[in-house]
Chains A and B, each alone.
Chain A
């Protein structure tokens, strides 16, 4: 069974600080990897995704993530956060063709950016 671990439950940063949110997964096969963001009272929005190719993936709003296969990691980064980045961030994984399509989510990281 696949699982996803997000190391930080709650992160508090000041504006302009750099961000890195950890995500590790366990899965026996080839995976697709995702980061979703959930702003207060809103639905989950896709920040970025990795299917194949360049392991450094750029997403919306200045976010990027790096897939490191040897470490089973897909950490999310942003060089300079803004107050509007305050939200909950979820890492998720699903299997490649022929295996399960449903997403397995981490427990989420609540990011609070102080103005």
Chain B
């Protein structure tokens, strides 16, 4: 069984460019979560999605960040006009529908802003 697949593993962007991070959940998982890990910190929740719906985006910055999980294809985390402070590791997790199911994490995308 393939785990949670994230790509790219590493992404380098210049300030002002756009970053697109992709996440394919585990087979059978319909819930996707995005987390951000800054250096020397734990993971911070950003957004929780089900297919075609954003359930909770309380952890996502109001500007420049957006997320989607279309009916077909991977979940996308999009960062527009990136700034140095966006440099971090971005992790995606997925789970089944039931609330007592644990989240399984991908390898993360390490975003570096020049």
Question: What residues of chain A lie closer than 8 Å to B95, measured between beta carbons?
Answer: 101
Binding site for A on B (CB under 8 A): 3-4, 31, 33, 35, 40-45, 48, 55-56, 59, 91, 93, 95, 99-100, 102-108
Q: Is A103 an interface residue (CB 8 A)?
A: yes
Taking a contact as CB atoms under 8 Å apart, the answer to whether A97 and B99 are in contact is: yes
Q: In residues 19-71 of chain A, which contact B (Cβ within 8 Å)?
A: 32, 34, 36, 42-46, 49, 51
Chain A residues positioned under 8 Å from B59 (CB to CB): 102
B56 touches A102 (CB 8 A): yes
Distance, CA A111 to CA B33, complexed state (A): 27
15 further interface pairs, Cβ-Cβ under 8 Å (given A101-B95, A105-B35): A6-B42, A32-B99, A42-B107, A43-B3, A44-B91, A44-B93, A49-B102, A92-B43, A100-B56, A101-B33, A102-B45, A103-B35, A103-B103, A106-B42, A107-B40
* A107 to B41 CA separation, bound complex (whole angstroms): 5
Interface centre among B40, B45, B108 (most CB of A within 10 A): B45
Determine the chain B residues whose CB is within 8 A of the CB of A46 once the complex forms. Answer: 102, 104
Q: Which A positions have Cβ atoms within 8 angstroms of B?
A: 4, 6, 32, 34, 36, 42-46, 49, 51, 90, 92, 96-97, 100-108
Given contacts A102-B59, A103-B45, A104-B45, contact A43 B108 (CB under 8 A): yes
Q: Are A90 and B43 in contact (CB under 8 A)?
A: yes
Write the chain B residue with the least CB distance to A90. B42
Q: Which of B4, B43, B106, B107 touches A103 (beta carbons < 8 Å)?
A: B43
Residues on the B chain within 8 Å of A34, using CB = 102
Q: How far is the CA of A51 from the CA of B43 in the complex (A)?
A: 21
Q: What are 27 A-B residue pairs whose CB atoms fall within 8 Å in the complex?
A: A6-B42, A42-B107, A43-B3, A43-B4, A43-B91, A43-B106, A43-B107, A43-B108, A44-B93, A44-B105, A45-B105, A46-B102, A49-B102, A90-B43, A96-B99, A97-B99, A100-B56, A101-B33, A101-B56, A102-B33, A102-B45, A103-B45, A104-B45, A105-B35, A105-B42, A105-B44, A106-B42
